[in-house]
Chains A and B, each alone.
Chain A
Amino acid sequence: MTATSLALPVRRPGSRSLGILARQLRAELRINVRAPEFVVPVMALPILLYFIFGAPRAAEPMPAGTVGAFTMVGFSIYGVLNIVLFAIGEAIADERGRGYLRLVRTTPLPAWAYLATKLALAAVLSLLVVALIGVAGTVTGAGVSPERWLAVTVVLLAGGLAIAPLGFLIGFLARPHGASAIALLILFPLSLASGVFMPVDQLPGIVRDISMLTPTYHLAELARLAAGFDASGLPAAGDGWQHVVVIGAWSLSGFALVALSYRRMVARQFA
């Protein structure tokens, strides 16, 4: 008996975890990319917005960079935020509401793998949207060099990870039917605070002050820095460490809240 038990293959944990993640991610990509109700508003809209607001004046110069480059960065941030809120937040709330999460919990799939896949999915989709906006910018003559856009992409991917707690909190706490409304209610002000629709320093005083406290404002500043300009389109100054610190603080407290809310969700649904 013991001999047979010992003869059972013991797989290397590392490779097995990666295998689980890869399979989950492939399934998640299929699930999302095949759903027009996800692809159109979340994936296509930021690119469409660039074509409406950025492309017609793409090559027009600003004190630093071009109108095209400025709007490319703005709608990329909008795209990443959109993905975090919907591909993580709304999707988890929906799977919770439909009872799918319950079924998955009866399988040996570890909870961390389910959650890590959502994060990986958000990263892949963000990469796709930012890359497509990069292509759109090049085609329309926004004049952003590949090196600069790569830097912006790296900042936005790291930033997307940092603001991922927003998605998880919606996923764990929102009522399934209310999740997309809540996501929209967060999307609009945070986009405004990042200067997606107008430069932040043109916002009314109190709104501007509040905006400058949000993680997405600092993420946007960091992304613009990588592109070579600031929120007003002037040449970028400073090294951006203050933005990294603010985003990091938000992110750490965000992930701590995620851990608490996860426990609360499990306790409410499964205890």
Chain B
Amino acid sequence: MTILIDPLAAGVPPRIPAAMPVLELCGVTKHYGTVQALRGVDLAVRRGEVVAILGPNGAGKTTAISILLGLREPTAGTVRVLGGAPGDAAVRARVGAMLQESGVPGTLTVAELVDLFRGYYPAPRPRAPLLAAAGLEDLADRRVRSLSGGQHQRLYVALALAGDPEIVFLDEPTTGMDVESRRRFWDVIGALAANGTTVLFATHLLEEADALATRIVVIDHGRIVRDGTPAEIKACAGGSTIRLRADVEPDLLASWPGVLRVGRSGARLEIVAREPQEVLRRLFADGIHVEEISVEEHALETAFLDLTSQES
């Protein structure tokens, strides 16, 4: 019987030159019946990058990660991970994953479950540093079913890191965590990144992407709509919301240059614009009567909504 865990047996080179991407999606589409989850995604990630896949629910984040992990086959396009096919045992030996729902056996202790997973990999991380990295050192002898939600998530981190992976995939890792757990979790990811591990995580929180990632890939309706550093993503999504009462047709305002969106908020109009002073200047210059003006710079989350709503 052939054991594919040995990298040599599957012909996967042990190391990939730094310039080459460690993972690559080329023209990847994925249909579930009539639902198009991904519509032509191209993505290349180099070693050591910390990439956030940012998008609203249903954007295709989980599908993209599933394809990169070899859990799902793309309908079209090609996927390479560490120079091989993502489902190969030789590739799986060198990546780690934290998925959204993984009901691990509750009757094992943390140490037993972690050891079980360590046993799956050819060169696992030693148990003590692994538990410490995930913040589980005091919980080693606890039964898994007695852990809190945040502790469960940290256990999943430990399982993802058990094989000392070169790439870690995390699908919405901080869902359901309280603020304290989330901050602790971010520290764990920060330490991984500092260590040179390539990290790719899905999130719908721009704040989280901004805090952790060196690169943010915004995905919506199965397409990549932006790809850049956190600073670039925030810059291109900049702008403000002007709220005012005015005797003017919203459609007219919407046609002005620099106006992204016009809506209503009670008796007031809501104008989303890149440069609010330009809009106000023109309102005054055109002699339109305005009152109750307020201008609000966009918070990160609104910026993120701007980015994705342009596609829909």
Chain A: residues with CB nearer than 8 A to chain B? 4-6, 8, 10-11, 13-14, 16-17, 19-20, 23-24, 27, 30-32, 34-35, 95, 97-100, 102-103, 105-110, 270-271
Contact = CB atoms under 8 A, between A and B. Distances in A.
Interface stretch (B101-109, B215-223, B230-238, B302-310): B101-109
Given A19-B119, A27-B105, 4 more contacts: A11-B3, A95-B103, A99-B101, A99-B103
Given A99-B101, A108-B92, A20 B4 contact: no
B256 interface: no
Interface in B1-35: 1-9, 13-14
B100 interface: yes
Contact of A270 (B2, B72, B105): B72
Contacts of A110: 3-4, 89
Interface residues of B, number: 44
Contact of B71 (A14, A17, A32, A270): A270
A141 B6 CA distance: 56
Contacts of B117: 107
B201 interface: no
A8 B14 contact: yes
B118 to A, nearest CB: 10
B120 A109 contact: yes
A252 B45 CA distance: 47
B139 interface: no
Nearest to A10: B6
Contact of A13 (B3, B7, B69): B3
A97 B71 CA distance: 15
A271 B72 contact: yes
- Closest 3 pairs (CB-CB, A-B): A98-B103, A99-B101, A34-B107
23 contacts: A4-B14, A5-B13, A8-B6, A10-B9, A13-B1, A20-B119, A23-B116, A23-B119, A27-B108, A27-B116, A31-B107, A32-B107, A34-B107, A98-B101, A99-B101, A99-B102, A103-B156, A105-B71, A106-B96, A106-B99, A107-B117, A108-B93, A110-B89
User: Is chain B's binding surface mostly helix, strand, loop or mixed?
Assistant: loop
B163 interface: yes
A11 B89 CA distance: 15
Interface of B: 1-9, 13-14, 69-73, 89-90, 92-93, 95-97, 99-105, 107-108, 112-113, 116-117, 119-122, 156, 159, 163, 169
Nearest to B121: A108
Nearest to A106: B97
A19 B14 CA distance: 24
B159 A103 contact: yes
A218 to B, nearest CB: 32
Nearest to A94: B103
Contacts of A34: 107-108
B38 to A, nearest CB: 14
Given A99-B100, A107-B121, A30 B3 contact: no
A76 B144 CA distance: 33
Contacts of B163: 107-108
Contacts of A35: 107
Contact of B3 (A4, A6, A17, A97): A17
A30 B107 contact: yes
Nearest to B159: A103
Nearest to B102: A103
A103 B119 CA distance: 15
Contacts of A108: 4-5, 89-90, 92-93, 120-122, 163
